[in-house]
Amino acid sequence: MNIAIVNDVSMITHLLSEVIINNSHHKVIWTAENGEQAITLAKEQTPDMIIMDLIMPGIDGVETTREIMKNSPCAILIVTADMTYNADMVFTAMSHGAIDAISTPALGAVNNKEDLKEFLYKLTVIDQLLKDSHKKIVTSPPINDISSDEYNYPMVCIGASTGGPGALASILSKIPEDFQGSIVIIQHVDEKFTAGLADWLNSQCKLDVCVAESGEPPQPGKVYLAGGDQHLQLSGKLHFQYTSEPKDYAYRPSVDIFFTNAAHAWKGHKIGILLTGMGNDGANGLLSLKQSHADTIAQDEQSCAVFGMPRAAIQLDAANYIESLENIPSRLLKLVSRANREILQ
């Protein structure tokens, strides 16, 4: 990858450059010490990825991310020294299109092998995501013998990546507190930030948002966020469980894996929603849900920060509905209301 670094601390810029040049095949093509420089340089020479400082004088990392994603979009990795204190800024930057975030202290010592490994792994994952976005999508095989009347509340499966936090907050904020369905979200985000994202989403809506715990059954009226560096699934007893397989899958947690698992495991009403994101994770899974007689929704291009994931699903004819972010909540509520009426019949 061609990488750019935006940071107002020259020592950190030098450290990051040294780590990248000496330990990977990636190239650092330019650096900037503030947001204004970064916006200009990104237009002149758009890199594959930008490592973006969050707190900078003048235009901060949030606004710089917004401007770059609007005018010269690329993958943006946010770095910040204090994730807890800066949580709102981090998730706002991700809402504008930042692909992920990492804590600056993890990069504090070149000689710290674990910290070095973590940072380089993050670059590898993003590199793989960029490569996967150009791969041909393979159609999932049909799913048979799925009944739709065994469970007394619907499950809503939502997948999101780049731009996801803002899209999720927009949808959840319009869901009433008496919502009669269980919502499970697979959002691509570093495991260190999952709890913070759940708290942030919790502050944006009337529903209870929490990280899905292994062994816990999904309940109606609650929102569960996949956590950790593993894939979320439903067990045979319909409790959440995490698995490391497939280990070499770039998306962790994977939307495809949960969607496909839910298509098989959840015998009642299902609704699949695929939101903004880079790459194609979730396209095959949404198709599996559609083939299991679920209602499926893909976010439209105009309202996406990055249209990659919904585009891939639409190309597979996996979406029953293609909706703007603004219209998704009303569509979801109508589908859930219809499902609950059918359950009572």
Domain range summary for the chain, segments of one domain joined by +: 2-132, 155-344
Catalytic residue among 95, 161, 170, 182: 161
The mean predicted confidence, pLDDT, of the chain is: 88
- Give the pLDDT mean for 76-86: 81
Cis amide leading into 47 (omega within 30):
no
Total Cβ atoms within 10 A of residue 34: 17
Contact call for residues 6 and 39 (beta carbons, < 8 A): no
For 276-292, how does the pLDDT look when each residue is reduced to its tens digit (9 = 90+)? 998 889 999 999 999 99
Residue with tokens 């996949």: 226
36, 52, 158, 270, 332 from 40: Cα distances, Å? 6, 14, 36, 46, 41
Specify the pLDDT at position 69.
95
pLDDT score for 118: 77
Residue 142 has pLDDT above 70, yes or no: no
Given this chain, do its domains 2-132 and 155-344 carry the same CATH topology? yes
Is 161 a catalytic site residue? yes
Compute φ and ψ for 213, nearest 5 degrees.
-100, 140
pLDDT value for 212: 96
Mean pLDDT in residue range 302-306: 94
The answer to whether residues 185 and 227 touch, using CB atoms and an 8 Å cutoff, is no
Question: Residue 135: is its pLDDT beyond 70?
Answer: no
Confidence grade of residue 140 (pLDDT, cut at 50, 70, 90):
low
For residues 89-111, average pLDDT: 77
Q: Which residues contact 90 (CB under 8 A, 6 or more apart)?
A: 54, 78, 80, 83, 101, 193, 196
The answer, yes or no, to whether residue 148 has pLDDT greater than 50, is no
Please give the pLDDT value at position 145: 44
Q: Say which of 26, 96, 188, 231 is annotated catalytic.
A: 188
- Angle at which helices 164-172 and 87-95 cross, to 10°: 100
pLDDT of amino acid 149 = 42
pLDDT at 151: 67
| Residues ≥6 apart with Cβ < 8 Å to 169 | 95, 200, 201, 204, 205
Is 147 one of the annotated active-site residues of the chain? no
pLDDT surpasses 80 at 341: yes
pLDDT value at residue 262: 94
CB 155 within 8 A of CB 262: yes
Confidence of residue 32 (pLDDT cuts 50, 70, 90): very high
To the query of whether residue 95 is one of the catalytic residues in this protein, the response is no
| DSSP string covering 23-88 | HSS-EEEEEESSHHHHHHHHHHS--SEEEEESS-SSS-HHHHHHHHHHHS--EEEEEES-TTTTHH
Res. 271: pLDDT tops 80: yes
Picking from 35-44, 45-54, 70-79, 184-193, which range would have the lowest pLDDT averaged per residue? 184-193
* Whole-structure pTM value: 0.89
**Overall CATH class of domain 155-344:** alpha beta
Q: Tell me the mean pLDDT in the region 183-204.
A: 91
- For the domain spanning 2-132, the CATH number is 3.40.50.2300
Half-sphere exposure of 101 (CA within 13 A, CB side): 34
Return the pLDDT at 46. 97
Which of 104-108, 251-255, 335-339 is the least confident region? 104-108
pLDDT in tens, 214-244: 999 999 999 999 997 899 999 878 899 999 8
Out of 281, 288, 292, 300, the active site residue is 281
What length is written for the chain? 345
Report residue 22's pLDDT band, with 50, 70 and 90 as the boundaries.
confident
